[in-house]
Amino acid sequence: MKINLENINKAFESKVRLGIMSALMVNSEIDFTTLKQLLNLTDGNLASHTKNLEEMGYIVSTKKFIGRKPNTTYTITENGKEAFTQHLNALEDFLKNAMNK
């Protein structure tokens, strides 16, 4: 039996990006600091992955100031929701097919 991997999205192969997208699927928005603590990441690591996801059109960042402190929040786009859902469905199909071998 040949297993179809065409719907596995390479953008989500990284556990960091998988974590970011998972957090955004269950939160309407999440700020940089909370996401960093939730995923136990450095500033640079989180910034790099969020930038890539944003360039792909999967998330959007909003930058503002609260008092004098900068605050960046992230939200998932409709395109991001669709891509991530497809990825999760593909993983589920992969696992079902692998177990039925």
In this prediction, residue 4 carries a pLDDT of 62
In this prediction, residue 64 carries a pLDDT of 92
Average pLDDT over residues 68-91: 94
In this prediction, residue 49 carries a pLDDT of 97
Average pLDDT over residues 58-73: 93
In this prediction, residue 96 carries a pLDDT of 82
In this prediction, residue 7 carries a pLDDT of 75
CB atoms within 10 A of CB 69: 8
Q: Going by C-beta distance under 8 Å and a sequence separation of 6 or more, which residues neighbour residue 41? A: 16, 35, 49
Average pLDDT over residues 5-30: 92
Average pLDDT over residues 18-29: 96
The two most distant CA atoms of the chain are separated, in Å, by: 59
Strand boundaries in 1-100, DSSP class E: 30-31, 59-66, 69-76
Question: What is the pTM assigned to this prediction?
Answer: 0.88
